[in-house]
């Protein structure tokens, strides 16, 4: 019996990871305090015999657990409005939360994966971003509670790999989208898709020439599994993301096309300062070590995502105003 712990398993990516692990025949223990996650993401798993959910804040230590074989640490606010509203919580879950999960893995002799972020590169001066680029990060800026917390989590993971021979690895996840992402968390795809479906103007922060590279969630989860399973990934930092890069204006146009809305664009100040201007992963390491590369094209991935948001919108309040949607990121 192989037992996997997924901290943050009620979140967007974590819930898809729980599905994948259960599909492989593993027992899955999802630990989540629902700070930014949603119980609806795992509602379909509650009757699954190999799934258990513990609502718990990992900053406070861990509940009593059976012997575990794999520990995935995905617990953290992840959207810019989310970590801005929860700055201390974000720092603590990536500091104390990481410590508790590392101790669990160390004592159990389990494999460990830490979900870091492309934000570890800050507003990058090198492009595309390779893992050996050390980044352009502010330790005091408006994103520092996230960027620096993740960098600390990476350093702590490497300390356990070196000092305790932990079987640990780090992934730097680049912007990921797909079904179950919180429609109200303020991120690019949820914001623009929900606005388009409601017939509202699409919000462009800044002039829209900044870029991102979007990875579909199923591809990302395959990358997480491949990283955990590969002995060669031990002690490594690995970028996971889709290298296809577009400007925000290009994403807005594609979403307008796919939703059949030709609505207006409205330009405003970024929701959170220090907005990285260019972002694209170099995935040479992931391809070489894991044989991993993303397979889902942008248009079909967005179509599936739009369909899932359309279904969700049909069951939620449609009377909220555009301003309300932007200022209440749903956490
Ligand atoms: P999410 O907010 O949907 O999921 C994170 C989960 O962690 C939530 O369910 C939340 O309730 C839980 N959580 C937060 N603090 C906790 C605590 N103290 N104790 C227990 N549970 C806690 O976000 P996501 O997009 O699924 O991101 C998952 C992970 O991947 C995060 O660590 C994030 O930093 C990282 N990541 C995501 C992206 C992306 O594009 N989605 C990009 C880079 C990195
Ligand atoms: N963005 C935007 N309009 C929105 C939401 C986001 O123009 O309604 C931009 C944002 O300024 C950033 C990019 O889209 O340049 C990605 O933002 P997101 O919050 O998804 O994630 P980030 O990559 O900044 O963590």
Residues 319 and 171 occupy one common structural domain: no
User: Which structure tokens are listed for 328?
Assistant: 């209440």
Q: Where are the alpha helices (DSSP H) in 70-135?
A: 80-85, 87-108
Residue nearest to atom 15 of ligand 1 (CA): 76
Which ligand 2 atom lies nearest to the CA of residue 81?
Answer: 19
Are 67 and 198 in a shared domain?
no
| Angle separating helix axes 12-23 and 217-229, nearest 10 degrees | 60
**What is the token pair recorded at 231?**
């002995």
For atom 21 of ligand 1, which residue has the closest CA? 32
Catalytic-role residue among 72, 121, 146, 216: 146
Residues 24 and 165 in one domain: yes
Ligand 1 atom 34: the closest Cα is on which residue?
78
In a domain, 54, yes or no: yes
**Domain range for 132:** 3-175+216-240
Residues 138 and 206 occupy one common structural domain: no
Token reading at 22: 């259960």
Q: Are residues 92 and 79 in the same domain?
A: yes
Q: Would you say residue 331 lies in a domain?
A: no
Whether 228 contacts 293, CB under 8 Å: no
Please check whether residues 127 and 185 belong to one and the same domain: no
Q: For the chain, what's the residue count?
A: 331
Task: Let me know if 249 is exposed, middle or buried by CB neighbors in 10 A (0-12, 13-18, 19+).
Answer: middle
Q: Whose CA is nearest to atom 19 of ligand 2?
A: 187
Q: Which residues of 68-100 are buried (b: 16+ CB within 10 A; e: fewer)?
A: bbbbbbbbbbbbbbbbbbbeebbbbbbebbbbb
Q: Is residue 18 helix, strand or coil?
A: helix
Supply the pLDDT for residue 278: 97
- Tell me whether residue 235 is in a domain: yes
Contact present, 58 and 93 (Cβ < 8 Å): yes
Ligand nearest to the CA of 80: 2
Mean pLDDT of each 10-residue bin along the chain, 331 residues long: 97 99 98 98 98 98 97 98 97 99 98 98 97 98 98 98 98 98 96 96 96 98 98 98 98 96 88 91 98 98 98 74 39 32
pLDDT of residue 186: 95
Q: Are residues 183 and 321 in the same domain?
A: yes
Q: Which ligand is nearest to the CA of 176?
A: 1
Supply the pLDDT for residue 242: 98
How many domains would you assign to the chain? 2
Q: Is residue 284 part of a domain?
A: no
Within-domain flag for 288: no
**146 in active site:** yes
**Chain-centre distance for alpha carbon 213:** 13
Is the minimum distance from the CB of 145 to ligand 1 under 6 angstroms? no
Atom of ligand 1 nearest to the CA of 187: 40
Please count the CA atoms within 13 angstroms of the CA of 152 that sit on its side-chain side.
17
Q: What's the CA gap between 56 and 7, in Å, rounded? A: 9
Asked whether residue 45 falls in the same domain as residue 107, the answer is yes
Tell whether 262 and 129 lie within a shared domain.
no
Residue 243: closest CA among 171, 294, 296, 288: 294
Same domain for 92 and 40, yes or no, is: yes
Instruction: Check whether residue 235 and residue 252 sit in a common domain.
Output: no
204 pocket-lining for ligand 2 (C-beta < 6 Å): yes
Q: Which residues contact 143 (CB under 8 A, 6 or more apart)?
A: 80, 83, 119, 122, 272, 273, 274
By the 10 Å C-beta count (0-12 exposed, 13-18 middle, 19+ buried), 275 is classed as middle
Using most ligand atoms within 8 A of CB, pick from 84, 124, 187 the residue to mutate for ligand 2: 187
- Whether 133 is covered by a domain: the verdict is yes
Ligand 2 centre to CA of 13 (Å) is: 18
Residues 139 and 205 in one domain: no
Report the separation in Å between the CA atom of 77 and the middle of ligand 1, taken as the mean of its atom positions.
5
Question: Which ligand is closest to the CA of 175, given by its number?
Answer: 1
User: According to the model, what pLDDT value does residue 270 have?
Assistant: 79
Atom number, ligand 2, closest to the C-alpha of residue 202:
8
312 Cα–ligand 2 center, Å: 22
Report the Cα–Cα distance between both ends of the chain, in Å, rounded.
Answer: 36
Query: Which pLDDT score is estimated for 330?
Result: 33
Give me the CATH number covering residue 8: 3.40.50.720
Coil, helix or strand at residue 164 = helix
What one-character DSSP code corresponds to residue 75?
Answer: -
The pLDDT, as a whole number, for residue 271 is 72
């Amino acid at each position: 019996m192989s037992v996997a712990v997924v901290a943050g398993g009620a979140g967007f990516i974590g819930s898809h990871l729980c599905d994948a692990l259960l599909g492989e025949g593993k027992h899955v223990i999802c630990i989540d305090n629902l700070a930014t996650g949603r119980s609806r993401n795992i509602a379909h798993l509650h009757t699954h015999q190999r799934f258990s959910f513990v609502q718990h804040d990992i900053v406070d230590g861990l509940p009593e657990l059976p012997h575990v074989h794999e520990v995935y640490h995905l617990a953290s606010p992840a959207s810019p409005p989310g970590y801005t509203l929860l700055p201390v919580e974000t720092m603590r879950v990536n500091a104390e939360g990481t410590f508790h999960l590392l101790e669990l893995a160390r004592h159990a002799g389990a494999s460990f994966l830490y979900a870091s972020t492309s934000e570890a590169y800050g507003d990058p001066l090198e492009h595309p971003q390779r893992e050996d680029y050390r980044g352009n990060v502010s330790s005091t800026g408006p994103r520092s509670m996230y960027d620096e917390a993740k960098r600390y989590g990476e350093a702590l993971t490497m300390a356990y790999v070196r000092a305790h021979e932990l079987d640990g690895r780090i992934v730097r996840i680049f912007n990921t989208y797909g079904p179950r992402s919180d429609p109200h968390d303020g991120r690019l795809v949820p914001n623009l898709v929900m606005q388009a479906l409601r017939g509202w103007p699409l919000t462009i922060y800044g002039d829209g020439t900044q870029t991102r590279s979007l990875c579909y969630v199923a591809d990302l989860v395959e990358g997480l599994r491949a990283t955990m399973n590969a002995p060669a990934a031990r002690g490594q930092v690995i970028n996971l993301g889709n290298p296809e890069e577009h400007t925000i204006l290009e994403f807005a146009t594609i979403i307008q096309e796919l939703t059949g809305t030709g609505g207006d664009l409205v330009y405003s100040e970024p929701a959170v300062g220090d907005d990285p201007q260019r972002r694209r992963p170099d995935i040479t390491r992931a391809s070489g070590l894991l044989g991993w590369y993303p397979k889902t094209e942008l248009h079909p991935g967005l179509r599936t995502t739009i369909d899932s948001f359309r279904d969700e919108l049909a069951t939620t309040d449609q009377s909220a105003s555009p301003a309300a949607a932007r200022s209440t990121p749903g956490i």
